[in-house]
Amino acid sequence: MHLSWLLLLLSSMGAITVLVGTNTVITPKNMLTTTNTTKPGCQRKCGNLTIPYPFGIGQNCYLQGSFGIICNTSYNPPRAFPVIPYSDFDILDITETQIMIRTTIIASRCQNSQGNVTFETGNLDMWGSPFTISNTANKLTVIGCNNYAVFSGSGDTAESYQRTGCISLCSIETEPVPGHCPGLGCCQDSVPFGWQGFTISLFGVEDEQGVNSIARFLSNQSCSYAFYAEKGSFIFGGASDLTLNNFDVVRNRIMKQLNMVLDWNIKLNTSCKMVKMSNSSINPYLCQSNTRCIDTEEGGYRCSCLPGYEGNPYLKPGCTDINECIAGPNNPCTMACVNSPGSYKCSCPRGYTGDGLKSGIGCVRIIDKSSSALNKFTLGLGISLGIIILLIVAWWFSTIIKRRRIIKQKAINFERNGGLLLQQQMAADESVVAAIKIFTVEELERATDHFIEDRILGKGGQGTVYKGMLSEGRIVAIKMCKVIVDQNQCGDFVNEVIILSNINHRNVVKLLGCCLEHEAPLQVFEFIPNGTLDHHIHSPISEFLITWRMRLQIASDLAGALSYLHSSSSIPIFHRDIKSSNILLDDKYRAKLSDFGTSKSVAIDQTHATTRVMGTFGYLDPEYYLLGQYTEKSDVYSFGVVLVELLTGQKAIRSTLEEEKSLTSWFLSHMENSRLLDIIDSQVVKETSKEEFLIIAEIANRCLNLDRNRRPTMKEVLLEIEAVLSLHLPHANEQIEPKSRQMFSETSNGVFFSPSTFYLENSSSSSADVSLLNNPR
């Protein structure tokens, strides 16, 4: 938008308006009000009447005889009579075009009781004068019953002689209406144009009703009047004006109202053109300078000042310019006014528009208008820009706040999830730093497609496990803990992370990292493809039955891992929740100890345990249950249960109708009665020699000893199982991998552990609390 262009347009519009303003012209002023009314040295007034030239009082004061006036001061107020006594009248008023005269011209017809009729006729004679009788300003009026008035007259020639009149009748039935003259008691009529004289006569109407109608008002007497006078000056009084007693009253009233309007010309029987042509001393052109000549209807001419001029147009030097710009009420301009001959110019100062006229638009602030428009424009622009900026800023702020809140929430989560503890540990032990990767929430969200349902591998009391793929393409299992409300559990989480970071064992599920920023802390483990041991042993629809060789290998792997945890690692670690569902099988069906799919709380719920003893019913060391003291031998007991599971293929809690619901007591009773063969898995019996599973059963028997002191250590167990494994020859039905022995030897060096249920002995306050809680005393 070009603002300069807009301004130019507005200012040019203003200029046009000013031009229009200059063309406006005011009406000329009446010559009677101006100073040069009369000839110098002549009497200006007669009483209240101002006498303008061409009228005048005294010699050389008027144009010609017809305009001469005698002011008779013997009257009070003085009266102005024409010098030439045309008729009986005097002059009441003089304007530029008309004079008002007072006459006594009346016609009457009266009839007395004897039937004698008296007449009176009215006459006006102004032939040869410059005056004509106005036929529009005057009216012929007749008052009376059963009369008609004849009104005859002419202009300045005999040929123009005309007659007119009206009849006034009275009716017995109808009363005349006051103020109305339709022919009932009163009639009115106009007269032809241009008369300079007339005669009025009244005549009686001889009709059948006549006598009666007269009798009604007047008995046999009547009086009628006819007169020609200014329209509206006499108001008919109705029936009262027709009664006998009122004749003289009515007459007197009429006489007072006998005023008549005459038009006047400077000269009749000529025209402006003729006068200008034959301009001579006998017939001079009388219009002075700055005047115009006007041809009149009456056949003469008059002079008038040009517009914008004032003065007497018949007197030298003529009309003079009106200075309209003289300050005062007559100044036509609201602001600037410039007078010019015959005209003036109203203008508006810079920055204003309009015609500048008081009678017109006046002056309106142009700058105000444009600037206000501009202001509105810029204001609107500013407001909308402001709103946009405000929105952007608000959006920006909200995102910052959101981001900050997220960051803050992350920090809060981090702290609550034990991040500070982890940091401490990391600071203390550099190996932790090396082993643990701290993942961001975004990374893990990307890995699991924002934790969608499809990716769930399993759900447990501790949380949900998702299958995920890291950006480098590694498949991982991501455990999302349940939202932690208990601060102690946060300690557990970090504790677990620290423990796992310290363990690097083939038969322990490897912790790759964790994420503490998330609301629920996240752990990232290597992905173990073949599910849990529990599933393979107990699921009746399992496609692939694990062989005795595999079972031995799993027992060996598990014993190795536990042995490692109990003795080999720098601080002894107890798994505390060894069970078949916590043992995962990799692609080669080697065991990986973990706690996936289980948790302390769920274990308690599922086992209907009344105390907060950790572990799973069926695997639980009875001594621990009684004393609340967990030792490495408690792990051994649980391991024994797993061995029995491997031997019998039964669940730790048997779902049978028999009395012995507990697998261990069931197993032990059969051991005592040497009825072991009855309970060994048929698959095992098929695949191996009796010696082998008897040795394993014996190990299990010792592990399940109620006296924990008589249980073997995991190291001892490991050695015995390894011995069996080394002696084991593949059975005819058995499919064995050729490299298994080599793998075994590798494994034998390793140790097992399981993540979340391991505790650092004497180092974890939470475990101490748990011990106290679990102590039945």
Binding interface with ligand NAG (CB under 6 A):
70, 72, 74, 156-157, 269
Shortest Å, Cβ 101 to ligand NAG: 16
In contact, 724 and 647? CB cutoff 8 Å:
no
**Tokens (6 digits) for 153:** 């007259």
Nearer to ligand NAG, 49 or 558 (CB): 49
Candidates 569, 486, 571; CA nearest to 749 is 569
Tokens of 476: 């991982």
In 3D space, the residue among 605, 598, 633 whose CA is nearest the CA of residue 463 turns out to be: 598
Active site residues: 577
Minimum distance, C-beta of residue 57 to ligand NAG, in the bound complex (Å): 11
CA distance linking residue 504 with residue 432, whole number of Å: 11
- CA–CA distance, 581 with 83 (Å, rounded to integer): 151
Sign of the dihedral defined by the CA atoms of residues 167, 173, 174, 175, in that order: positive
Closest C-alpha to 467, from 456, 482, 481: 456
Whichever of 74 and 245 has its CB closer to ligand NAG, that residue is: 74
Tell the smallest beta-carbon distance from residue 157 to ligand NAG (Å): 5
Please state the closest distance from residue 155 (CB atom) to ligand NAG, in A.
8
- In this complex, which beta carbon is closest to ligand NAG, that of residue 269 or of residue 431? 269
CB atoms closer than 10 angstroms to residue 326? 10
Task: Pick the closer one to ligand NAG by CB: 265 or 501.
Answer: 265
Nearest residue to 226 via CA among 162, 167, 163, 160: 167
- What is residue 155's DSSP assignment? S
What phi and psi, each to the nearest 5 degrees, are found at residue 123? Answer: -135, 140
Q: How far is the CB of 128 from ligand NAG (least distance, A)?
A: 8
- Residue closer to ligand NAG by CB (options 74, 570) is 74
Element containing residue 90 per DSSP (H, E): strand 89-94
- Output 56 or 521, the one with its CB closest to ligand NAG: 56
Rounded Cα gap, residues 157 and 644, in angstroms: 162
Closer residue to ligand NAG, CB minimum distance, 82 or 491: 82
Q: Which segments of 358-451 does DSSP mark as H helices, in order?
A: 366-416, 419-428, 430-435, 441-447
In the complex, what is the shortest distance from the CB of residue 44 to ligand NAG, in angstroms, rounded to a whole number?
A: 19
Complex with ligand NAG: residue 277 or 571, whichever CB lies closer? 277
| Distance separating alpha carbons of residues 82 and 51, to the nearest angstrom | 12
Distance CA 523, CA 516 (A): 9
Q: What are phi and psi of 466, to 5 degrees?
A: -110, 145
Q: Using CB atoms within 10 A of its CB, is residue 122 exposed (0-12), middle (13-18) or buried (19+)?
A: buried
CB 301 to ligand NAG: min, Å: 13
When the beta carbons of 72 and 431 are compared against ligand NAG, the nearer one is: 72
Least distance from ligand NAG to the Cβ atom of residue 71, Å: 8
Whose Cβ is closer to ligand NAG: residue 27's or residue 74's? 74
Contact 102, 207 (CB under 8 A): no
Q: CB neighbours of 264 closer than 8 A, spacing ≥ 6?
A: 97, 98, 99, 130, 131, 132, 302
Amino acid in position 445: E
Helix boundaries (H) for 57-192: none
Smallest gap from Cβ 267 to ligand NAG, in A, equals 10
Q: How far apart are CA 298 and CA 134, in angstroms?
A: 10
| Residues 200 and 228: beta-carbon distance below 8 Å | yes
Q: How far is the CB of 223 from ligand NAG (least distance, A)?
A: 28
CB of 80 to ligand NAG, least distance (A): 11
What is residue 587's three-state secondary structure?
Answer: coil
- What single-letter DSSP state applies at residue 567? I
Query: Nearest-CA neighbor of 595 among 616, 566, 571?
Result: 616
Tokens 């199982």 correspond to 721
| Nearer Cβ to ligand NAG (272/614) | 272
Closer CB to ligand NAG, 32 or 70, in the complex: 70
Q: Which residues of 182-193 are buried (b: 16+ CB within 10 A; e: fewer)?
A: ebbbbbbbebbb
Distance CA(146)–CA(170), nearest Å, equals 6
Residue 340 φ/ψ, nearest 5 degrees: -140, 160
What's the alpha-carbon Rg for the chain, to the nearest Å? 69
Let me know: does 566 contact 632? Beta carbons within 8 Å: yes
CA-based nearest residue to 520, from 445, 434, 617: 445
Question: Minimum CB separation from ligand NAG for residue 326, in Å?
Answer: 42
Question: Encoding tokens for residue 191?
Answer: 């007269």
Please say which residue, 46 or 644, places its beta carbon nearer to ligand NAG: 46
Strand partners, 186: 143
C-alpha span between 244 and 250 (Å, rounded)? 10
d(CA 625, CA 29): 131
State in angstroms the smallest separation of the CB of 132 from ligand NAG: 12
CA distance linking residue 715 with residue 712, whole number of Å: 8
